Amino acid sequence: MMLLIDAGNTRIKLARVSGDVWPAVDELPSRQADELPQYFAGLPEIQEVWVCNVAGEAVAQHIRAGCEARCWKPRFITARSVQCGVSNGYTQPEQLGCDRWAALLAAWHLVRGACLVVNCGTATTVDALSGQGEFIGGLILPGVELMQRSLSEAAAQLSMAQGGYQPFPQDTAAAIFSGSIQASCGAIERQYALLGDDAAPVLLSGGAAGLLRPHLKLPLRVTDNLVLQGVWLIAQETKT
């Protein structure tokens, strides 16, 4: 059995995979990464551990400590120039975030054509794949919650009070929330226009996907756990 780990800035997702059978994905807040050894202790026999970590070295150390206690050897993925049918157009391929890379690999496996890969988490990433499987570039912008929090922290007159979406907001809380939604959707829609392929789908994933979905007038495919799917693909290719 294989253990896949997607350690993000907000959440750590964990999936046990046997062959191509996926059970439910477990989640743990990243701030509780020190609980991973206890989580690992309750797992059945694991032969392989594959990790995508963008949550920093402290989280990586908790993962390693928990694995070492079980005599597991975790393998941390990094972006490459070419992998699983995708070529990496980044100026320095290894500097592309491993989460973005894994999501791109999963997207190519699902679509086999041009697409936009959008992951909505602490940050929102908007990455483009060509019809030949080339990552041609992408954006990183603050996620919806981070946009709101940055305004409340930087501007004394703006609070973090939760507002609802309004096309033309008439109170401050709604103005902040709606502005965050519109900014995120505007970036996604602009990148889609630049991609120039009306048949290309937008693969939407991440914890804030539900907030953006109603406001995007694009051919959407909401896809859970793109990063974990990409990690699984990397593990499969490494075996062959």
Residue 170, beta-bridge partner list:
none
Task: Check the CA dihedral 140-145-147-153 and report its sign.
Answer: negative
Q: Are 222 and 205 in contact (CB under 8 A)?
A: yes
20 belongs to the catalytic site: no
Cα–Cα distance for residue pair 60/79, rounded to 1 Å:
17
Q: Are 104 and 129 in contact (CB under 8 A)?
A: yes
Cα–Cα distance for residue pair 96/2, rounded to 1 Å:
25
Element (H, E) at 124: strand 123-129
Catalytic residue among 6, 20, 99, 171: 99
Give CA 43 to chain center in angstroms: 25
User: How are beta strands 115-120 and 86-88 bridged, if at all?
Assistant: unpaired
Exposure pattern of 21-57 as b/e (b: 16+ CB <10 Å)? eeeeeeebebeebeebbeebeeeeeeebbbbbbbbee
Nearest of 186, 113, 92 to residue 101 by alpha carbon: 92
Element (H, E) at 137: strand 134-142
Residues acting as catalytic residues: 99
